[in-house]
């Protein structure tokens, strides 16, 4: 059988393997407009228009079929370039279809909606998008107030305890934008990100309601699309390398900062996503605000995310990856839940944290934190 015909049939069969269309969304175009997630909103519009769109499973199947056909033909033809009986034009069309099928692996998956990984998911440059969750927690309580932050560097150790309340307000803003697209052929995008989180002693009237701690985190990431399979139905969707700076912008003795080379590995499966982020710290020399920060804030983290209807669940864990007295870590659980049908862009938000490093000033301070408020955007 000739390759063009076999490849066309393989891709067509993969696309037909799953249901073609979902039921028309209840509520019509207004219901589509109320969806926060870009990919879900587009899919909703496509269903209303009667347009078929690829599901992640079908996109994966089409890419696998195309990759297998290319490998088979490569083995058959060796190093020589083969001209098919149907001519060069038809062969060029088939090659284009093959490349597009492979470049659209995972289209519509959770991580694709966040990072525009698939070829047809890319939205161009300098479109600002939410990066990490954006939330406001009017009630943020800690079990152990850190009123005298310390560090092995004596210049960064507070000697006079501060007057702080155990109840404060926490909020976070975060956004990213793509600065360069398809750096290597049809893959490799450069993203710029910025996250800022603040802890505000808004109820501390005796101390003029100060901002206790604000962390600033700019970063740059080179993100690659992947499409390999793993046991249990998981797929490797993305890998990335980048540079991350985090600091609190304060003077001694409250100054804290560090720089890291970050690695990202993203996986997803239906309504689940998993992101592993090991990192390597870039040293600050002799004038280091927090020389032992890796033994507390960790050398990597792992974040598991789950979407269930209108609810979002996230569990983050990190560890120093050392034993004995250097073994420290933290766990954080976030739950985003609907408040009212009319509030489509706002969810309730519960945050639980236990361990070291809830903020930079508390990097070597262990405590439990409980926050309750609203989120404007979760991970998904």
Peptide bond into 253 cis (omega under 30): yes
Domains of the chain, with CATH numbers? 3-109 (no CATH), 129-377 (2.40.230.10)
Per-residue pLDDT tens over the stretch 18-34: 333 333 445 577 777 77
Share the mean pLDDT of the chain.
87
pLDDT tens-place string over residues 342-352: 888 899 999 99
Are the C-beta atoms of residues 181 and 187 closer than 8 Å to each other?
A: no
Secondary structure class of 290 (helix, strand, coil): coil
Q: In terms of Cα–Cα distance, which of 98, 117, 101 is closest to 188?
A: 117
Determine the 3-state secondary structure of 105 from DSSP.
coil
Cα torsion 241, 301, 127, 56: sign: positive
User: In the predicted model, what is the mean pLDDT of residues 299-321?
Assistant: 97
Q: Which of 23-37, 90-104, 178-192, 279-293 has the highest mean pLDDT?
A: 178-192
Q: What is the pTM of this model?
A: 0.82
Active-site positions read 245, 247
- Report CA-CA distances (Å) from 95 to 3, 38, 57, 100, 129: 11, 30, 22, 9, 33
Instruction: Using a pLDDT cut of 70, give the percent of the chain over it.
Output: 84
Q: Identify the pLDDT of residue 32.
A: 79
Q: Tens digit of pLDDT for each residue in 47-89?
A: 676 555 568 988 888 888 887 877 777 777 665 444 444 455 4
Question: Which pLDDT score, from 0 to 100, does residue 50 have?
Answer: 59
Residues 107-158: tens digit of each pLDDT: 999 999 999 999 999 999 999 999 999 999 999 999 999 999 999 999 999 9
């Amino acid at each position: 059988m000739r390759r063009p015909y076999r490849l066309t049939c393989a891709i067509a069969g993969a696309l037909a393997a799953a249901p073609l269309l979902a039921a028309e969304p209840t509520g019509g175009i207004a219901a589509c407009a109320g969806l926060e997630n870009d990919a879900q909103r587009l899919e909703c519009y496509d269903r209303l228009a009667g347009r078929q769109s690829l599901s992640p499973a079908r996109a994966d199947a089409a890419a696998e079929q195309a990759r297998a056909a290319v490998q088979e033909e490569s083995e058959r033809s060796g190093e020589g370039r083969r001209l098919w009986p149907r001519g060069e034009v038809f062969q060029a069309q088939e090659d284009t279809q093959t490349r597009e099928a492979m470049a659209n692996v995972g289209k519509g998956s959770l991580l694709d909606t966040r990072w525009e990984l698939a070829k047809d998911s890319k939205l161009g440059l300098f479109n600002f998008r939410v990066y990490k969750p954006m939330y406001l927690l009017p009630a943020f309580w800690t079990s152990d107030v850190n009123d005298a932050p310390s560090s092995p560097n004596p210049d960064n150790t507070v000697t006079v305890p501060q007057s702080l309340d155990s109840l404060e307000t926490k909020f976070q803003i975060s956004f990213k934008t793509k600065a360069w697209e398809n750096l290597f052929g049809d893959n490799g995008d450069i993203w710029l990100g910025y996250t800022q989180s603040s802890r505000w002693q808004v109820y501390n009237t005796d101390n003029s309601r100060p901002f206790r701690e604000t962390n600033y985190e700019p970063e740059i990431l080179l993100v690659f699309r992947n499409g390999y399979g793993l046991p249990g139905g998981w797929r490797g969707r993305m890998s990335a390398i980048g540079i991350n700076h985090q600091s609190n912008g304060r003077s001694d003795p409250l100054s804290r900062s560090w720089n890291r080379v970050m690695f990202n590995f993203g996986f997803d499966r239906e309504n689940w996503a998993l992101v592993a982020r090991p990192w390597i710290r870039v040293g600050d020399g002799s004038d280091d605000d927090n020389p032992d920060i890796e033994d507390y804030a960790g050398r990597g983290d792992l974040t598991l995310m789950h979407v269930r209807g209108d609810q979002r669940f996230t569990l983050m864990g990190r560890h120093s990856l050392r034993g004995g007295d250097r073994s420290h870590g933290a766990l954080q659980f976030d739950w985003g839940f609907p408040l009212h049908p009319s509030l489509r862009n706002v969810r309730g938000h519960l945050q639980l944290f236990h361990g070291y490093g809830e903020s930079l000033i508390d990097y070597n301070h262990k405590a439990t934190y409980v926050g309750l408020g609203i989120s404007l955007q979760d991970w998904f």
